[in-house]
């Protein structure tokens, strides 16, 4: 009896007959889920990277301005961000110019403009909410702060939740001590690099 069972088990193990279709049907769901997961995570990473690059692009463009900005300029930056980022997802931006006052030991806002539904306009009272994320600056130095938010809806349901892709980037004005906005009075005070002391 045992010899017969052993012989049948050996015969079953060595038998190579079978249908590839059955094996494929067993593995197909796993393969399809794997491909969907790879595509979904790659697409989310790509969207996050594009969102960050768009924020840096806007920050760099604003930092090069030497003339007054206006609402048309902010609208064009918003339109450009929508071209750079996925057009089928909600996009919002906020552009602000922030100044550090050493005597008062706090940040002040020169101006702030937003487009889209995700942001509200910063004020001197609310800019302190992000002071931990702002850079250390010398007295009366200014930075251009660009924030973007983009909704991410995963292409497939593979465990990645819907989320907001937020970016917070800043740059220093390049060709002028500050960036003016039309109709906004900016407080006096400009940063001047001190010349090295003569020996």
Q: Is residue 110 within 8 Å of residue 145, measured between CB atoms? A: no
Three-state secondary-structure class, residue 113: strand
Number of other CB atoms surrounding residue 97 within 10 Å: 25
Query: Residue 194: what pLDDT?
Result: 53
* 182-196 per-position pLDDT tens digit: 888 876 555 555 544
Q: How many CB atoms lie within 10 A of CB 19?
A: 8
Tell me: pLDDT of 154 over 90.
Answer: no
Predicted TM-score (pTM) of this structure: 0.76
- Interior angle at CA 183, CA 182 and CA 188, nearest 5: 95
- Which tens digit of pLDDT belongs to each residue from 7-25? 777 777 776 666 677 777 8
Rounded CA-CA distance 108/189 in Å is 11
Taking only the tens place, the pLDDT of each residue in 57-83 is 999 999 999 999 999 999 999 999 888
Cα–Cα–Cα angle for 29, 88, 31, rounded to 5 degrees: 10
């Amino acid at each position: 009896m045992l010899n017969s069972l052993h012989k049948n088990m050996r015969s079953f193990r060595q038998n190579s007959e079978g249908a590839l279709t059955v094996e494929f049907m067993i593995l197909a769901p796993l393969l399809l889920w794997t491909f969907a997961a790879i595509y979904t995570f790659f697409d989310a990473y790509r969207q996050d990277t594009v969102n960050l690059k768009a924020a840096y692009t806007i920050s760099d463009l604003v930092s090069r301005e030497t003339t007054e900005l206006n609402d048309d300029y902010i609208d064009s930056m918003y339109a450009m961000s929508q071209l750079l980022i996925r057009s089928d997802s909600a996009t919002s931006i906020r552009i602000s110019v922030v100044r550090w006052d050493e005597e008062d030991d706090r940040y002040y806002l020169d101006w702030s403009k937003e487009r889209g539904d995700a942001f509200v306009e910063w004020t001197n009272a609310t800019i302190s909410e992000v002071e931990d994320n702002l850079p250390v600056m010398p007295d009366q130095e200014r930075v251009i702060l660009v924030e973007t938010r983009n909704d991410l809806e995963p292409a497939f349901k593979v465990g990645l939740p819907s989320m907001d892709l937020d970016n917070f980037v800043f740059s220093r004005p390049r060709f002028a001590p500050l960036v003016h906005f039309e109709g906004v009075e900016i407080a006096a005070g400009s940063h001047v690099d001190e010349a090295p002391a003569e020996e």
